[in-house]
Structure 1
Amino acid sequence: MSLFNKLFPLSRNRALPQLKAIYIAGSAGAEMQSVDRIQALEQTGLGGDRYSVARGYWQVTEACQVTLISEDDLDKAKKKLSEPLCARLDTGHHRRNLVISHLKTRDLHDKTFRIGGAIFRYHKPRPPCGYLDKIEGKGLGGALGKNSGICVTVISGGVIAVGDRVEIVPD
């Protein structure tokens, strides 16, 4: 039995956690771009993303190497938003780099995990801020609230791609 199955027993009908989307932006406030695959750079972030090239809004004070949010988090936020803002969440306007399915972000707390060829480690929660509302739409930050994702560190670099499994690895 794998470590993941020991930590998170699955029923027959439950899908395995996987990477559903990857988003990057070249600089603070730039449009988020969806990509199918990307290089995760050890102790740096995602190749070409604003934080890996020191151009993020929070670069000086609160930068994260990589941000991650779950579909579960996004579904909770959508219950508090108008239809137009819900549609924006589906296209990366939450401004998080990685979207995962079938695993809650709180299940990654203090864990190391693999996505594709890279290994990540939970770092801290990533609360929303007023800047999110300023560039993406008033009310988005409040709707995300406590379910706004997490910061993760790239422990070992490698290529990650949409569809890759998310697997907890032993420390």
Structure 2
Amino acid sequence: MNKIGKVVAINISEKKGVVKKPIEQGLFIEEHGLEGDAHAGKWHRQVSLLAQESIDKMKKSGVEGLSVGKFAENITTEGIVLYELPVGTRLKIGITIQEVTQIGKECHGGCEIRRLVGDCVMPREGIFTRVIQGGVIKPGDIIEVLGDN
């Protein structure tokens, strides 16, 4: 498995259940998540990650107009098969350290993506982390799989 990847985009939204918009950089706060994001807080799904490869898979299946943040992911990645990482795996993303807490999720009924597209890869291929060590992350930053704690 590839142990090195990179950040393609940082995405944010003020409300849950909507697509996220790309931003130039994000401040990830220890035990909280992305500053200003609706999903941040003291719980196990502080940050969501989805690989560009998963988005490309959806594009190949004929889905139009997909871009970063459309699946409501905070960090769009490239180069690592995220959903194969075991829970407990630590990732060094830029200067932050994050721990994988969940692979995939239940898709909520009002999912904008599923309604528009008919399918959503986030429940199968997205992952969630909690922030162990905070810092600023920006597109182009390196992601390194550190292993589990």
TM bucket, shorter chain:
0.7 to 0.9
Distance 2:119 2:63 in 1: 13
Taking structure 2 as the reference length, what is the TM-score of the superposition? Answer: 0.82
Which residue pairs with 1:122 in the alignment?
Answer: 100
| Alpha-carbon distance, 1:146 to partner | 5.2
Asked if 1 retains the 8 angstrom alpha-carbon contact of 2:49 and 2:73, the reply is yes
Distance 1:146 1:92 in 2: 15
Which letter maps to 1:27? Answer: K
Which residue pairs with 1:72 in the alignment?
Answer: 53
Change (3 A) 1:20 1:140: same
Unaligned runs of 5+ residues in structure 2 are none
Structure of larger gyration radius: 1
Distance 1:64 1:141 in 2: 25
Which residue pairs with 1:33 in the alignment?
Answer: 21
Asked if 1 retains the 8 angstrom alpha-carbon contact of 2:9 and 2:68, the reply is no
Number of aligned residue pairs: give it. 146
Name whichever structure is richer in helix by fraction.
Answer: 1
| Alpha-carbon distance, 1:92 to partner | 1.6
Q: State how 1:13-32 maps to structure 2 within 5 Å.
A: 16-30=4-18, 32=20
Which residue pairs with 2:133 in the alignment?
Answer: 156
Unaligned runs of 5+ residues in structure 1 are 1-6, 10-15
Taking structure 1 as the reference length, what is the TM-score of the superposition? Answer: 0.73
Name whichever structure is richer in strand by fraction.
Answer: 2
- After TM superposition, what 4+ stretches of structure 1 lie above 4 angstroms from structure 2? none
Which residue pairs with 1:52 in the alignment?
Answer: 40
Which letter maps to 1:130? Answer: G
Distance 1:153 1:147 in 2: 19
Change (3 A) 1:151 1:25: same
